Structure 1
Amino acid sequence: MEIRRRLTEFMLGALMVTAVVLTAVAVGTSWGGWYWLFGAAIGLCLTAIALARRRKPFVAATFGLVMAMAAVVIARLAGFPREPGPAGILALAVLVGMVVRRSSYSKVVAVTAGALTVVLMAFVAGQPLGGEVNVVAALNALGLAGALATGLALRLADRTRKETEERVRRDERLALARELHDMAAHHLTGLVVQTQSARILARKRPGELDESLDAIENAGSDALTAIRRVVGLLRDDTDPFARPVPEQVRELVQRFELHGPPVRLDVPEEVGPWAPEVAGAVQRVVQESLTNIARHAPRASEVDVTVRQDDAGVHVRIADDGPPPGRPPRRGGYGLIGMRERVEALGGTLRAGPRDGSGWLVDATLPVADLMPAIDSG
């Protein structure tokens, strides 16, 4: 993600500098002399502000708009080519668009008012010279209107994505609540009923009390196991208590290979005592990753699945060599949100993204030292 962001910023900067150079050449050819110098300086300054916008976008946008207003006035009084030129318009569009996308509504209103002021000033400054200068005003209007529209569209998309992520997390919690009810509630209800029966037996038939207490102990153990199972499952259908993790992973790989590429599997024959939460998370990460490969990487020729444990914790790594054709790979969707939430809830880390060269990588680390299953003291 960081590499992609830096590449985008580099391409944007290159585009703005190219616009500055082309505008300077055009002004130098048509106006002659040093008339191009003022526009080039304004364009480079606005480009620098636009590229430094991420830390304080509202401040950067305000500074850029004020500079554009000053450039309009200076160009009008000095008889320079009208401003902002193409490079300045592009830089202002980036600044305004980012504020509209990410800032509060009050800041959006303020920046929008500033952008309209720039457009109005460019139009008024161009009136005495006729149609040629009106083109500059029209370009300013189109550029800033495009920035507003793009910023609003991206703001709406961000809001929709955030609401969808929240809904996915809410559904995850609701699923867990249903699992708790279905798997544990009846155990606890039985425990209460048997406890009430034991109190009656203690008064009327004390000789049968030991048998009743044994039943209560068994019911309590079943309830504890059910609750721990739900915490480990977190809505999965596979029970981490039923079979060891290596066996679960091998079964997932075998099912995947029925319709997918071959898998190079590296898992230990046996693993140390893991908490059920860790076992469920490992199974979920492998399952979701293989599902994403089958869905989004149809041209993958090989998949690597590795599960190992060391002093740092449990490491799960799933990699493939085939991104889908067409646009850049984007896998996981909201399944990735569930994986990440599960892993980070256990104090672990999860990294998912494109590999160097081609393919996709999911790399998760889960601690085990603080999540060992408790040993019943009897």
Structure 2
Amino acid sequence: MRVREWRAGTAADVGLGAAAAAVLAFYVYRVGASWGGAYGVFGCAAGAAVCALALARRRNRLRAAVVGLVVAAVAIVVARVARLPAEPGPGVTLGLSVLVGSAVRVLPPRPACAVAGGGLVVVAGAFAVSPQAVVGVLSATGWAGAVAAGLWPRLLAARRRAVEERVRRAERLELARELHDVVAHHVTCVVLQAQTARLLAGKRPERLATSLADIEAAGSDALAATRRVVGLLRDPARGLPALERLDELVRRFGGHGPDVRLRLPDGEDASLWPPEVTTTVYRIVQESLTNVSRHASQARSVTVTVARSGESVTVEVADDAPPVPARRRGRTGYGLVGMRERVEALGGTLRAGPRPGAGWSVLADLPVPARERP
């Protein structure tokens, strides 16, 4: 990549040098034909100096631009005082355009704006002291083209960086959600099983072996889920939770928690839904059941309902735990934030809060594109 950039820069400098030589030769010829040969020497020298600075601009772009602007300003004053052909001539304009455009494109905002402002001052000086309007127009055109040529790629680069940052942030959030959903759910299962084993060790030691086996199974499930997350990170098309796995999730939860009733849409082929919708439905149910284990230990039953209505899919997880004053505060962790981010990323809505009378409900509405309908 560096070799390619070096070659491109060298080719651009060779082209600039050839263009500068042609412009200066044409300038000397035209001035010699109308004013006389000696009158073009100063303008040719000033143009050659500014073009040389343009060729050496990569060493220090700011210094080269500032010196070029000073040379152009001095040339304007000297030409006016000595009654020489008006400046800046074509050579100075060419070199100054390269210097201004390069500074605007590469330098930090403040120096870039200062160089562009200095170029505008030179243009104003050309209009103020030159009796020939064509010189001022040429200088203004060169300055405007230089600013546009430098500003456009700068804006494109800034936009590209902003897009890359949004993509990286989205990837980080997706990774955080996946790790939270998997780790929080399965570690909660392990903790609950360990608490059960501790109680059984003192009261019913004969069942301790069964409880330890359950802990081992929960740990294996956590390891398998972590591997699925790694597979998903390597290949997004793999490891996506299918809606059919809700039965397995409900059975696993019901083995150490309140009774769970699962209601799925009848006669609906969920495999035709977009994978991001089925994944989000699964994660909402998973995180909601995890929250029930953490914050609603007194719940006796949980109802999980997945329904299709028109162009949307609705998923609700509701429990019947008695009201607890601090319960609302206990459910403001990253799980609810992750669920809301998932739902809003698909253009849906999510509501979570206490139910009338008792219990807690998580209700999400997800749009399904018409082309995905069975």
Name the TM-score, length of structure 2 as normaliser. 0.56
Contact kept, 8 Å, 2:87 with 2:130, in 1: the verdict is no
* C-alpha distance in 1 between matches for 2:82 and 2:212: 99
Residues 150-189 of structure 1 mapped to structure 2, 5 A cutoff: 150-189=149-188
Contact kept, 8 Å, 1:172 with 1:235, in 2: the verdict is no
* C-alpha distance in 1 between matches for 2:61 and 2:205: 78
Residues 251-262 of structure 1 mapped to structure 2, 5 A cutoff: none
The alignment status of 1:96 with 2:95, answered yes or no, reads no
* Largest Rg, 1 or 2: 2
* C-alpha distance in 1 between matches for 2:10 and 2:171: 34
The alignment status of 1:75 with 2:74, answered yes or no, reads no
Range 197-206 or range 147-156, more displaced? 147-156
**What is the identity, as a one-letter code, of the residue corresponding to 1:153?**
W
**What is the identity, as a one-letter code, of the residue corresponding to 2:194?**
T
Contact kept, 8 Å, 1:17 with 1:47, in 2: the verdict is no
Contact kept, 8 Å, 2:31 with 2:37, in 1: the verdict is no
* C-alpha distance in 2 between matches for 1:211 and 1:60: 80
The alignment status of 1:16 with 2:15, answered yes or no, reads no
Aligned to 1:346: none
The alignment status of 1:147 with 2:162, answered yes or no, reads no
Aligned to 1:7: 11
Give percent identity, aligned residues only. 51
Give the superposition deviation at 1:64. Answer: 0.7
Contact kept, 8 Å, 1:187 with 1:222, in 2: the verdict is yes
Contact kept, 8 Å, 1:175 with 1:235, in 2: the verdict is no
Give the superposition deviation at 1:113. Answer: 3.1
Secondary structure of the structure 2 residue equivalent to 1:84 = coil
Give the superposition deviation at 1:162. Answer: 1.3
* C-alpha distance in 1 between matches for 2:220 and 2:87: 78
> What are the superposed Cα offsets for residues 211-247 of structure 1, whole Å, 9 maximum, x if unpaired?
322332343344245335534642623559xxxxxxx
> What are the superposed Cα offsets for residues 167-189 of structure 1, whole Å, 9 maximum, x if unpaired?
11112212222332444443222
* C-alpha distance in 2 between matches for 1:209 and 1:81: 103
The alignment status of 1:31 with 2:35, answered yes or no, reads yes
Q: 1:79 to 1:233 in 2, by over 3 A?
A: same
Aligned to 1:341: none
Q: 1:225 to 1:63 in 2, by over 3 A?
A: farther
**What is the identity, as a one-letter code, of the residue corresponding to 1:11?**
G
Give the superposition deviation at 1:136. Answer: 0.8
Give the superposition deviation at 1:166. Answer: 0.7
Give the superposition deviation at 1:15. Answer: 2.6
* C-alpha distance in 2 between matches for 1:210 and 1:33: 108
Q: 1:64 aligns with which of 43, 62, 68?
A: 68
Q: 1:176 to 1:73 in 2, by over 3 A?
A: same
Q: 1:209 to 1:16 in 2, by over 3 A?
A: farther
* C-alpha distance in 2 between matches for 1:9 and 1:231: 49
Q: 1:173 to 1:124 in 2, by over 3 A?
A: same
Give the superposition deviation at 1:108. Answer: 3.6
Q: 1:225 to 1:87 in 2, by over 3 A?
A: farther
* C-alpha distance in 2 between matches for 1:6 and 1:203: 82
Secondary structure of the structure 2 residue equivalent to 1:34 = helix
Contact kept, 8 Å, 2:104 with 2:151, in 1: the verdict is yes
Aligned to 2:189: 190
Contact kept, 8 Å, 1:20 with 1:44, in 2: the verdict is yes
* C-alpha distance in 1 between matches for 2:198 and 2:16: 78
Q: 1:189 to 1:75 in 2, by over 3 A?
A: same
> What are the superposed Cα offsets for residues 194-218 of structure 1, whole Å, 9 maximum, x if unpaired?
1121112212222332332233234
Secondary structure of the structure 2 residue equivalent to 1:83 = coil
Aligned to 2:114: 110
**Cα RMSD after superposing both structures:** 2.6
* C-alpha distance in 2 between matches for 1:198 and 1:41: 93
* C-alpha distance in 2 between matches for 1:44 and 1:202: 93
**What is the identity, as a one-letter code, of the residue corresponding to 1:13?**
G
Aligned to 2:350: none
Q: 1:12 to 1:190 in 2, by over 3 A?
A: farther
Secondary structure of the structure 2 residue equivalent to 1:142 = helix
* C-alpha distance in 2 between matches for 1:11 and 1:93: 15
Unaligned runs of 5+ in 1: 128-132, 241-378
Name the TM-score, length of structure 1 as normaliser. 0.55
Secondary structure of the structure 1 residue equivalent to 2:235 = coil
Aligned to 1:125: 129
Contact kept, 8 Å, 1:46 with 1:91, in 2: the verdict is yes
> What are the superposed Cα offsets for residues 112-164 of structure 1, whole Å, 9 maximum, x if unpaired?
3322221222223323xxxxx22111111121122233333333222211111
